[in-house]
Chains A and B, each alone.
Chain A
C-alpha cells in the first residue's frame, strides 16, 4: 500500500519531443505528489508538485497531470531538451500528520534527450 510504481524505467526522446513519465499509487491517504529531477552525482531537486484537489499543474515546460480516480499521475516535459537528460523520480507523501512525513519514491526514470 505504500508503493509508488513508476514507468518507464528508461526513455529516449528526440529534442523538441514530449517526454511522458507515469506513476501509480495505491494508498489514497497520499496527499502530496512531487517530482524530482536528479543529475548524476547530485541530490534530487524538486521540480514540480501537485495536490489531489487539482487535476493539472503547469510550470514552464513541465506539467503534472493527476487522475485521482485512477490513482495515477504523470509528468509531461514539453519541447524536451538535451539538458533535461536526467533521472526523474515521482514521489508521494502521507499528509501533514506530523508523524508520517516521509516521501515514498518511485523507482526512477532515466530520460535521455537526443539531438
Chain B
C-alpha cells in the first residue's frame, strides 16, 4: 500500500511569491492534514480537510490556504511568502474519525 506522497520535495521561492504544495493521501483516507515544521519550533498544525471541506485551522494567517479535491488529494497555498515561512511542510492523512495520522515525507520550502 502506497503511503502519503507529497510534491515537490524541495521548493525555493523569493519573498512575496506564492508557493503551491501538493499531497496525495493513502488510498481510502478521506482526511488530510497540513503541518508546518520550522527549525526549532516543532510541528504546528495548519489545516485539516475532510470530504472536500476545511474542518479546522491552526493559528496561521489567511495567506495560508488550501483545498481538497474530489479524489481527496490536497493542495496547500502560501501567498505573499515571508522569510519565516521557510520550513518543512508535512501532510498527513487518516481515515475520517480515526486518530491515526500517517505522514508524508514533506516539502522543504525555502524562501529567499
List chain A positions with a Cβ less than 8 A from chain B.
32, 34, 36, 41-46, 49, 89, 93, 96, 98-108
Contacts and interface: CB of A to CB of B under 8 A. Distances in A.
Interface string B90-112: 10101011111111111000000
Contact of B99 (A34, A42, A98): A34
A100 B56 contact: yes
Contacts of A42: 105-106
B6 to A, nearest CB: 8
Contact of A93 (B44, B55, B99, B104): B99
For the residues of A in contact with B, the DSSP-based class is: loop
A59 to B, nearest CB: 14
19 contacts: A32-B99, A34-B100, A43-B105, A43-B106, A46-B100, A46-B102, A49-B100, A89-B42, A96-B97, A98-B96, A99-B55, A101-B33, A101-B55, A101-B99, A102-B33, A102-B45, A102-B58, A103-B43, A107-B42
A56 B112 CA distance: 47
Contacts of B4: 43
Contact of A101 (B31, B90, B103): B31
Given A43-B106, A98-B55, A99-B56, A104 B101 contact: no
B72 interface: no
A102 B96 CA distance: 12
